[in-house]
Amino acid sequence: MAPLRTIMTRDLVTASKQASLKEVAALMADNDIGNVLFMDADKLVGILTDRDIVVRAVAFGRDPGALAVDHATADPFTLDADTEISQAAAQMGERQIRRLPVTENGKVVGIVSLSDLSNRARGDADQQALEGISTPTL
């Protein structure tokens, strides 16, 4: 099977750690994306998804002017660009994540989404791993 580098999106959108929820939501809308990365120089310090904005901020009546990074997943799980797609699908299913930052030599070089994986799922094992991402654990 192919490595993550063959399916990852290389055009990453980052936001300042000073950006508000409203600014980040607008950035997502302007770029037609569902996540934004927060960086400290070359180090990934957080990821915020459109879903995070809804369930971690809007659902609790947070001020749209609040810092977006405060609602982000800090130190998100990443995998190397050479990781096999099937391994990534299994890890995403196990960890219940829908977007996976991809690294090379410790630097973020891309991102893989659930839809990237589902468009390329080849075998039963891949499909089962993908189904596990969207299925809540009890």
CATH of the domain at 39: 3.10.580.10
Q: Mean pLDDT throughout 122-135?
A: 53
Q: Which residue has the higher pLDDT, 34 or 120?
A: 34
Q: Using H for helix, E for strand and C for coil, what is the string for the chain?
A: CCEHHHCCECCCCEECCCCEHHHHHHHHHHHCCCEEEEEECCEEEEEEEHHHHHHHHHHHCCCCCCEHHHHCEECCCCEECCCEHHHHHHHHHHHCCCEEEEEECCEEEEEEEHHHHHCCCCCHHHHHHHHHHHCCCC
User: Which pLDDT does position 115 carry in this prediction?
Assistant: 87
pLDDT tens-digit profile of 85-95?
Answer: 999 999 999 99
CA distance 48 to 99: 10
CA distance 116 to 81: 14
- pLDDT at 127 exceeding the cut of 80: no
The band of 54, judged by pLDDT with boundaries at 50, 70 and 90, is very high
- Total of domains in the chain: 1
Q: Which amino acid is residue 132, in one-letter code? A: G
pLDDT tens-digit profile of 55-75?
Answer: 999 999 999 999 999 999 999
Average per-residue pLDDT in the chain? 89
User: By residue range, what is the domain housing residue 123?
Assistant: 4-134
- DSSP H or E segment with residue 109: strand 107-113
User: Which pLDDT does position 124 carry in this prediction?
Assistant: 43
Q: Mean pLDDT throughout 46-62?
A: 96
The band of 116, judged by pLDDT with boundaries at 50, 70 and 90, is confident
The band of 8, judged by pLDDT with boundaries at 50, 70 and 90, is very high
